């Protein structure tokens, strides 16, 4: 199931004076917080040592102060419903804050924290907390896992800063619990105050403070904007309309004289404006689109340290502040609408989600042609590139300066073409380099026939050895130039250039003959003859000595040579022969590659 995260923000107002600070450095005086309660102010010092000299609590350790706390703020809250709960602590990106969360109702029995984070802020993140970074920074290591809560659970939160100079922080509660219980996810009964908990509001809002008390005879309203409480002239009603930041006090005059005095903090935050955003195009070759580049457009002249820009796939998500997209966004569709929300960091209930923009994932050109092309040595040119362009909107540019999808080249070399498609001012390109190599037509230079008996080995030698294949008779082509187990007789050898630059075919005669014979009259190996010539037309064998003198001529019907010349036996030696035959045209040919020798032994 997809996790739904709804953010209910309890804002700490940055930049307010210390007179309005809602910060307690000690656990026993922890500030109670609940729904829509602003808490604010930086931290200075740690009051008493809430850990009684301990060296660690969870992930936190003693600092240079000699205690775990340096500059601390304590808060407490109680859950009013069950569900998933988290929070975001927002601060200046140049500062480093830590936190520890304790599940307890007793500062003297804190135990170990259930969530804790102490990582320094090397990434200059704007948030630390539990759950998910609301800015969409999914890799923020300063976040701990969500907690599952039940009604009536008490928690204490320690927020600590190691620097004596800090500008304050905000607390923003989040989690599915606020989807199911938007008004009572946190229990406000822990705040015992006539005027209720502190109030956070947006510029332009009108806040009504209600001090109505039975039997009261008068109400006196006062306001403190940093220099002490001053009476508000003419305000004596049970309610007061407030539209400016300050601490407000009511003095309820009772008949008994036991008057009631109640204070409440009211804070108004700047209402952000989301400026119009231009449509944009991303190339499909880019895995991610950086949504952060749109922040400046959305903010316009507004201070980026005061507002969060988030992006969403639906208008409702933007309105509810849920399912914010990661800034490094992986696009899934060709074109989609991105909804933009600008939220006040000091009070995230102040937001503007009025703008959206179109984000198009433009398909980067694809090229399917071969990048290895051969030009034949005996041809003048070859066509390279895209013969049939897949998209008429593509434009092409070759490093030769030509702008067609394909070009004709007549020289070997490397040729690079770039294909481009442009939409909404954005161009997506891809390039390919085609290597053109000259390919030489093969020529059979020699054929080696070995072991000329019934099963022979034939080796084809050519002028080139790369990118060619060999065939014997009607057999399959093979990469090897060696054929084994070749029977004697007439054969056809074919050599093919796999680059398409020619085929050469030759006929050859494979015959078998003994390497030696012994004409001694013992009836064994007394005659020398070539085997396998019976299928040749009028074969003739010419036998001669090393000086070329013709000694004997045999035809296909002769039994063989007995080693005599003119009736006289010839001495032991090596003798040579050649074979001729008539081809299909009736012409006499000499069998190529059959011109070998044998031995006569006495």
**pLDDT confidence tier of residue 1, bands split at 50, 70 and 90:** very low
Rounded Cα distance between 188 and 479, Å, is: 85
Provide the 3-class DSSP secondary structure of residue 69.
Answer: coil
Residue 360 has pLDDT above 80, yes or no: yes
Residue 16 has pLDDT above 80, yes or no: no
Q: 77-81, 387-391, 423-427: which has the minimum mean pLDDT? A: 423-427
pLDDT of 10 reads: 35
pLDDT of 38 reads: 56
Rounded Cα distance between 430 and 365, Å, is: 6
- Residue 368 CA, chain-centre distance (Å), reads 24
**pLDDT confidence tier of residue 453, bands split at 50, 70 and 90:** low
Residue reference for tokens 């008996």: 453
What is the number of alpha carbons within 13 Å of residue 315 lying toward its C-beta? 3
CA dihedral (178, 181, 182, 188) in degrees, to 10, reads -100
Residue 570 has pLDDT above 90, yes or no: yes
152 CB neighbour count, 10 Å cutoff: 12
Rounded Cα distance between 283 and 180, Å, is: 40
- Residue 226 CA, chain-centre distance (Å), reads 52
pLDDT of 378 reads: 72
Q: Please, what is the end-to-end C-alpha distance for the chain in angstroms? A: 98
Residue 556 has pLDDT above 90, yes or no: no
Q: Which residues 6+ apart lie within 8 Å of 69 measured at CB? A: 25, 46, 49, 50, 51, 63, 158, 160
Residue 9 has pLDDT above 50, yes or no: no
The mean pLDDT value of the chain amounts to 87
Rounded Cα distance between 130 and 172, Å, is: 10
Render pLDDT for 195-251 as a digit per residue (tens, 0 to 9): 988 788 899 999 999 999 999 999 999 999 778 899 999 999 999 999 988 899 999
**pLDDT confidence tier of residue 7, bands split at 50, 70 and 90:** very low
pLDDT of 19 reads: 34
**pLDDT confidence tier of residue 8, bands split at 50, 70 and 90:** very low
**pLDDT confidence tier of residue 83, bands split at 50, 70 and 90:** very high
**pLDDT confidence tier of residue 335, bands split at 50, 70 and 90:** confident
**pLDDT confidence tier of residue 318, bands split at 50, 70 and 90:** very high
CA dihedral (40, 41, 47, 49) in degrees, to 10, reads 60
**pLDDT confidence tier of residue 137, bands split at 50, 70 and 90:** confident
Rounded Cα distance between 170 and 164, Å, is: 18
Render pLDDT for 265-311 as a digit per residue (tens, 0 to 9): 888 888 999 999 998 887 775 667 889 999 999 999 999 888 999 99
**pLDDT confidence tier of residue 12, bands split at 50, 70 and 90:** very low
């Amino acid at each position: 199931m997809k996790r739904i995260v709804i953010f209910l923000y309890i804002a700490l107002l940055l930049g307010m004076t210390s007179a309005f600070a809602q910060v307690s450095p000690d656990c026993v005086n922890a500030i109670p917080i609940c729904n829509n309660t602003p808490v604010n102010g930086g931290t200075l010092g740690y009051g008493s040592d809430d850990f009684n000299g301990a060296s660690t609590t969870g992930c936190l350790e003693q600092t240079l102060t000699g205690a775990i706390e340096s500059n601390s703020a304590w808060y407490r809250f109680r859950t009013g419903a069950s569900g998933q709960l988290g929070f975001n602590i927002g601060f200046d990106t140049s500062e480093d804050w830590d936190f520890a969360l304790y599940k307890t109702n007793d500062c003297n029995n804190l135990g170990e924290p259930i969530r804790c984070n102490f990582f320094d802020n090397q990434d200059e993140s704007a948030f630390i907390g539990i759950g998910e970074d609301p800015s969409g920074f999914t890799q923020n290591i300063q976040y701990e896992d969500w907690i599952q809560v039940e009604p009536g659970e008490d928690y204490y939160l320690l927020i600590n800063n190691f620097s004596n100079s800090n500008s304050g922080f905000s607390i923003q509660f989040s989690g599915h619990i606020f989807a199911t219980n938007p008004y009572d996810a946190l229990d406000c009964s822990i705040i015992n105050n006539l005027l209720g908990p502190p109030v956070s509001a947006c510029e332009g809002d009108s806040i009504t403070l209600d001090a109505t008390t039975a039997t009261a005879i008068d109400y006196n309203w006062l306001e403190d904007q940093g220099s002490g409480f001053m009476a508000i002239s003419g305000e004596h009603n049970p309610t007061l309309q407030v539209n400016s930041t300050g601490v407000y006090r009511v003095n309820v005059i009772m008949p008994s004289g036991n008057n009631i005095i109640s204070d409440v903090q009211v804070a108004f935050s700047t209402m952000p404006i989301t400026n119009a955003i231009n449509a944009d195009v991303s190339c499909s070759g880019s895995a991610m689109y950086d949504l952060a580049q749109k922040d400046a457009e959305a903010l316009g002249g507004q201070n980026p340290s005061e507002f969060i820009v988030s992006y969403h796939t639906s208008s409702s998500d933007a309105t509810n502040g849920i399912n914010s997209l990661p800034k490094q966004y992986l696009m899934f569709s060709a074109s989609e609408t991105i909804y933009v929300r600008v939220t006040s960091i000091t009070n995230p209930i102040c937001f503007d989600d009025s703008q959206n923009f179109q984000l198009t994932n433009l398909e980067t050109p694809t090229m399917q042609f071969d990048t290895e092309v051969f030009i034949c040595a005996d041809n003048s040119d070859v066509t390279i590139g895209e013969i049939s362009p897949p998209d008429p909107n593509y434009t092409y540019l070759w490093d030769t300066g030509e702008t067609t999808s394909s070009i004709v080249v007549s020289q070997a070399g490397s040729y690079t073409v770039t294909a481009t498609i442009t939409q909404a001012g954005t161009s997506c390109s891809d390039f390919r380099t085609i290597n053109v190599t000259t390919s030489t037509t093969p020529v059979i230079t020699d054929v080696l026939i070995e072991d000329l008996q019934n099963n022979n080995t034939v080796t084809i030698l050519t002028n080139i050895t790369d990118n060619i294949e060999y065939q014997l008779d009607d057999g399959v082509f093979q990469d090897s130039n060696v054929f084994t187990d070749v029977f004697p007789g007439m054969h056809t050898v074919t050599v093919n250039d796999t680059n398409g630059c020619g085929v050469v075919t030759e006929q050859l005669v494979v015959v078998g003959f003994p390497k030696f014979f012994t004409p001694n009259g013992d009836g064994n190996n007394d005659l020398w003859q070539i085997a396998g010539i019976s299928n040749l037309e009028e074969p003739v064998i010419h036998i001669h000595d090393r000086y070329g003198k013709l000694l004997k001529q045999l035809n296909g019907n002769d039994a063989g040579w007995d080693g005599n010349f003119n009736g006289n036996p010839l001495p032991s030696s090596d003798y040579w022969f050649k074979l001729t035959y008539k081809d299909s045209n009736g012409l006499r040919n000499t069998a190529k590659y059959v011109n070998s020798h044998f031995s006569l032994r006495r």
